[in-house]
Structure 1
Amino acid sequence: MSDIKQITAVARDRAGKGAARAVRRQGQVPAVIYGGGEAPTTIALDFNQTKQLIFAGHFLTTVFEIDVDGKKTRAIPRDYQLDPVRDFPVHIDFLRLSQGQAIKVVVPVHVVGQDKSPGLKRGGALQIVEHSVELLVPSDSIPDFIEVSVADLEIGSSIHLEDIKLPNGAKAVATENVTLLSVTGVKEEEEVAPAAAEAEAPKA
């Protein structure tokens, strides 16, 4: 799990598009903290720090302690918007967290063991079906990723979500057994190509 990160913000008196534009002109990023049975709190974040946090990775699975004018709130980003042209942050939504609260998060899948897979050694191809999975996890135990090993996979074998040991307290959101990846064989057209070429070759 990523460490809880500290971030400082200032409260905003007004909401709306006009107020948000004014915040951006001041070199800040408008944001809102909602949920937890409290009224939404509109805030402004430092532009450079926010951009670095987003592009550092794992932003949507990182818990933040947001210091808003001396009042600290624990929250997790639920969504963020980037400028479609210049790719910088223009707005962030944070969800308040309470102790022990369970939340849904999308966690990336990390594949390991490619160098040991007998199927891949025999010329098979690794096909990743799902690059991430949605989990229900305690807010204080959010995994950075789910590790999936293909070390024992032969050609034609697959790994499903139910095959993976999830972190303590984590549950899969999907009700069906999702295929995460598989090792496929050499494409049929690649196998028949040499034979076809030999058949078409002129005879002496």
Structure 2
Amino acid sequence: MVTTGEARSTGSTTPTPLQGALFTEVLPEEMTDSVGYRGPAACRAAGVTYRQLDYWARTGLLEPSVRNPSGSGHQRLYSFRDILVLKVIKRLLDTGVSLQQIRIAVAALRDHGVSDLAGITLMSDGATVYECTSDDQVIDLMRGGQGVFGIAVGSVWREVEGSLAELPSERPDDEEPAVHPDDELRARREQRNAG
């Protein structure tokens, strides 16, 4: 995490955001835990495969926060925040950051409210991920040679928001259909079990 005035690698204390949030404190319902997106929709919005999504949920890297049922036949529901973090994970993986460092970064991001995430820039030198909450922190990392690339979470936010506007959402208390039309893995499993 970052403390005021200096950037440190993720894992220490929770910072007070220095940048203004891009969005107001009152979030639209689609960005709260009262609305969720099924796995296939989360995959499309985040740019990950369903296999990656399932693996990360089973290993605890990122579990769905709206509905995380155990057992087969139940749908996970991912919140806007979950999908935002999924897209950040994907970007970090694409730049070569190790899964171990990504786990540390994701744990640090969990400590932030949804609106706080918009003011964060994740910087990395390929080995360590740094959380910056001000332009000065980004500049200090670059001057010190620690920052090779950065991910502005606010821009990722806007991408996810645009993608989810076109995808179906549901409430966690909605009744689940027997087979969701987009749930390819469940359909294959049921075909295999039927003979």
TM norm structure 2: 0.21
The structure richer in strand per residue is 1
TM norm structure 1: 0.21
The higher radius of gyration belongs to: 1
